Amino acid sequence: MHSTVTFCLGFLASLAQGALLNRRAALEDCLSGSSTAVDQVGSDDYNRDITPFNRRLPFKPAAIAVPTTVEQIKSAMACGSKLGYKVTAKCGGHSYASLGLGGEDGHLILELDRMDSVKLDKETNIATVDAGTRLGHLATELFEQGNRAISHGTCPGVGISGHVLHGGFGMSSHTHGLALDWVIGMNVLLANGTLVHASETENKEVYWGLLGAGSNFGIVTSYELKTFEAPANVTWFVVSLPWKKNNTVAGLEALEDYARNTQPAELNMRLYATRQFTQLEGSYHGNRTDLEAALEPLLNKIGGKLAAAQTVSWIKGLEHFATMKLNQTYPYTQVQEEFFGKSLELKGLNGTAAKGFSDYWFDVAKNETAHWYIQLDIHGGKNSAVWKADSKLTSYVHRDKLYILQFYITTSDAPEDGIKFVNDWSSATTTPLAASDWGMYFNYPDTSLNRTRAQEMYWGQNLGRLQQLKGELDPTELFYYPVSLSPAQKAELA
């Protein structure tokens, strides 16, 4: 009997393996017939395209298609849909959770980074940008073509699509808003294969959903971006903070009052700390004299000292915060890290929440020898362009938050310990807070969340409306990933 059971199980396993191979072969045949290039396993392109930013999370796709036209994207997407594969568009591959590789094995990946055209209309100052463009290339082209810019993040290798479709905070956001605030139109391929244009006046609900939760509804093929004139100069700076356990809560509360009520629009700033040091760092849109005047009321209260500052050109300011050459295009070599990251979006950090955060910082984190950092970005405030933008225009739900707090720890030795370290610090911060006072930022995805909790954290009060839209546009979840939106069921849609 035992040998019979073993034979049956082995036979079934062989059938399953055979079916998988047949399905893979069918996918390869379909892609070859679509005129879309495919990375050959083991080739230089395949090895580059499969390399995750977070070394902790490698995934093996069913195939990597490399389209260079909208029609090829459409054809490759149709192959995945017909054969039952989940389809994932990858632009920069910088996701903390390797979501560009599907966040799990077995997806059909559409590698878009060969599509990186940037064309600026010098009469309207509107740029048309391919969906595979990296932020450093976008910044370089806008500046060189017409001294223009948008606000965006600091890492040049990050792709525009993942960044802009879920927020897009950076070192100009206090002055000029989020990256998604500069999107006035998009061309997007929906799950049913139709190409539509979405804007404030055309397919308005699709436009709303894409700008905040865009990876769930389709594959954007290009963006239309309004732009601003790049400033003549910016001043990057570092302020050293002599904070200890006995003065950190007071320092955080002084920082919050300044960020909420005083910080000028020109000043973009974050608190950054490691085990070894604590500092403020940022970029002021203007000269050093004006920067010093802007910082003076804050530094008088928190005891900080301006340790370094330099006034430079717009491009040199971007290069200062970049971790590599600014103008990044194909072929792109991924710089890898091995880590766990987590974010909180907070209405404030004061009182018992600040004390819980500070106590953990000095009692626990200061004794942790693995490399870690915290980054408290000033996201809102009465002078912040993030707060001034129309909150109803996009599905980015955390516009009312003052801060984006990021936790990061390397995990090469003991991943479980690092994950617990960060989660405990986060819990020490949020336990006193009302649910409405905090959420999480999708662009720093948390791999310890289950799908239900992730949706609540990333999309908050917009979740129901987004799930309705998911049910209408992608009911079979062609664009599924482990923390993607769950589509509303048909009964809910009626």
Supply angle C-alpha 255, 257, 260, rounded to 5. 105
Q: Residue range 219-235: average pLDDT? A: 98
Q: Strands 228-229 and 87-90, how do they pair?
A: unpaired
CA dist 303 and 8 (Å) reads 74
pLDDT for the residue 8: 53
Closest CA to 481 of 93, 99, 92, 61: 99
What confidence tens digit (pLDDT) does each residue in 17-50 have? 556 678 999 999 999 998 899 999 999 999 999 9
Using a pLDDT cut of 70, give the percent of the chain over it. 95
CA dist 199 and 186 (Å) reads 7
pLDDT for the residue 490: 62
Positive or negative, the Cα torsion across 206, 204, 438, 418?
positive
Residues forming beta bridges with residue 235, ordered by sequence position: 284, 311
**Chain-centre distance for alpha carbon 168:** 7
Q: What is the greatest pairwise CA distance in the chain?
A: 87
For residues 136 and 327, is the Cβ–Cβ distance under 8 A?
A: yes
Supply angle C-alpha 245, 250, 255, rounded to 5. 115
For residues 197 and 187, is the Cβ–Cβ distance under 8 A?
A: yes
pLDDT for the residue 494: 44
What confidence tens digit (pLDDT) does each residue in 378-409 have? 999 999 999 999 999 999 999 999 999 999 99
Q: What is the gyration radius of the CA atoms in the chain, in angstroms?
A: 23
Cβ-based neighbours of 262, under 8 Å, separated by 6 or more: 297, 298
What confidence tens digit (pLDDT) does each residue in 292-314 have? 999 999 999 999 999 999 999 99
Give phi and psi for 106, each to the nearest 5.
95, 5
Q: Residue range 428-457: average pLDDT? A: 98
Give the three-state DSSP class for 183.
strand
* pLDDT band (50, 70, 90) for residue 323: confident
Give 223-248 as a DSSP string.
EEEE-EEPPS-EEEEEEE----TTTH
Cβ-based neighbours of 258, under 8 Å, separated by 6 or more: 297, 298, 301
Q: Residue range 316-344: average pLDDT? A: 97
Pick from 22-36, 117-131, 179-193, 384-398: least confident: 22-36
Torsion of CA 227, 320, 155, 56, to 10 degrees: -170
